[in-house]
Structure 1
């Protein structure tokens, strides 16, 4: 018998028991953390509420990535559209804008999903046993979808300006190029090879993730809000570390792939081909850097003995 038919509004898991309530697998993982009691926890009857209850982490990631990316992409847009008037503060505006957006994204989801906001972080945690692999596909999809939706809203926000700026010709290259508002690409054409840029992506992602693992470690004494501010400040430092004059490092596959898919549909037809198929650099590089950083943190800096009878719950996501 289905969960919807078996559980009435007044019934709880405590009164029915797990087996009778039909709560197993994913539902049990969501309802119960190791060592916690399931006292008086009401099970939702409506299918939509059950979906939100089961996939609350993925929903939180989607909404937070959408907010974080929408603010960041809008900062990029206003910088590009105002560059003819003022170029002196472009790097600082971009860095501060993305840093502030990241604080909002972290704080709005840290209590639900752990505020990954980044497929590279999710995968690296799963590789080293800090996050269940069965939840990785849903989390990554939610993050990329969040980037796609954020790009859509940014496009809507500035809808009257696109044609005024580029004459109706959506460009990835040239003085009127606007693809760079949404995606990461080389700042100077033909100077750096994709191999150079891949190294930059891996190196800076390693630095950011290595810092995040320290901040997010529950054995540290920082609150989530303080950690969010520190991560944002470090991101600002990375953006200002000369990367704007090479290629603005993505550090996050969802930050590039989601918007790239949207602008492909919106008329930037060459966005996957330009710069020698550069799109793979911000897609692959962060995964390499994040996995290397997690490995270095786990096995070199603060190794921890694995207890087979307990799930390792060191980070925010547990």
Structure 2
């Protein structure tokens, strides 16, 4: 099968990221509306539902667009793959731009679905640090989350020995599990585009966003994903195949 042009792949990456934000962050925003209206704190059950929403959309996007874009839908994944020679650097800026635009469009989609309550009560599912989580601690937590995700991606999506047909399920469930673990401390982004979109739209529409926290959700995921890609490469040695968009079906996200 002929590989689609870079433009078409970027459109698909943008759509994939938009749907990730719409469904995943949108579910978080809806939960925010419910908890605010009922004056109740977010429970572990609520986090479980949000995690499941992210897991579902990640799985769907991997099986839908992974066959021709790699389904990164996460700038940290794109940069980590490029850093280890599994994705061409010349295509990185286009992918990052598409993912960030997709994140913004997905956040606007949340407004369409939930209205201004999604902004004012649900904060569009924007990720923020818990009051007890420090700035550096937040970076480390986001790095750990991205490390786990990227390590799994390398093992199931890049390593030629892996059963590729299971990639979407395994990576999607990994995303859900990570969110259950770290949502309470950082909001569980480990994806700069997933945070960037709601931040931008929230700010435009009068939401409450602390932009000083944005670097946490950029630095942490990039550090963690790059470290995981190199770590897996060292462990697997020469047994990891160098793949490109022409041959990879599951170089994926969140």
TM-score normalized by the length of structure 1? 0.70
* Offset, 1:218: 4.7
**Residues 1:73 and 2:25 are matched in the alignment:** yes
Aligned residues of 1:218 and 1:315 also touching (Cα < 8 A):
no
The separation in 1 between residues aligned to 2:147 and 2:78, in whole angstroms, is 14
Question: What does residue 122 of structure 2 align with?
Answer: 178
Q: Which is bigger in relative contact order (C-alpha 8 A, separation at least 6)? A: 2
User: Which residue of 204, 209, 216 corresponds with 2:150?
Assistant: 209
Q: Distance in 2 between matches of 1:153 and 1:271?
A: 18
Which residue matches 1:304?
Answer: 238
Find the counterpart in structure 2 of residue 271 from structure 1. 209
Deviation, 1:114, is 0.6
Q: Which residue of 2 aligns with 1:108?
A: 64
Query: Hey, what's the Cα distance between the residues in 2 that align with 1:287 and 1:267?
Result: 29
Which consecutive segments of 4 or more residues in structure 1 shift more than 4 A? 85-88, 311-315
Preserved CA contact (<8 Å) 2:59 2:172:
yes
1:3-22 alignment runs, 5 A limit = none
Q: How many Å apart are 1:178 and its aligned residue?
A: 3.4
Greater CA radius of gyration, 1 or 2? Answer: 1
State the SS of the aligned residue for 1:216.
helix
* Mapping 1:145-160, distance limit 5 Å: 145-159=101-115
Equivalent runs, 1:79-228 vs 2, <5 Å: 79-83=31-35, 84=38, 87-88=42-43, 89-159=45-115, 161=117, 178-179=122-123, 181-187=124-130, 189=131, 191-224=132-165, 226-228=166-168
CA distance in 1, matches of 2:125, 2:71: 22
Match of residue 257, structure 1, among 187, 196, 202: 196
Q: CA–CA distance in 1 between the matches of 2:230 and 2:74?
A: 17
Per the alignment, residue 233 of structure 1 pairs with 173
Q: Structure 1 unaligned runs (5+)?
A: 1-29, 33-51, 163-169, 172-176
Measure, in 1, the Cα distance between the counterparts of 2:240 and 2:7.
27
- 1:54 deviates by 4.4
RMSD: 2.6
- 1:57 corresponds in structure 2 to 9
Structure 1 residue 68, shift from structure 2 partner: 1.9
In structure 2, how many angstroms separate the alpha carbons of the residues matched to 1:231 and 1:251?
A: 14
Secondary structure of the equivalent of 2:72?
coil
Structure with bigger helix share is: 2
Please report how far the alpha carbon of residue 207 of structure 1 lies from its aligned counterpart in structure 2 after TM superposition. 1.1
CA contact (8 A) 1:64 1:109 kept: yes
Report the Cα distance in structure 2 between the residues aligned to 1:148 and 1:127, rounded to whole angstroms. 26
From 290, 294, 298, the equivalent of 2:225 is: 290
Q: Distance in 2 between matches of 1:305 and 1:210?
A: 15
Number of residue pairs the alignment of both structures matches: 245
State the Cα distance separating 1:71 from its structure 2 match: 0.8
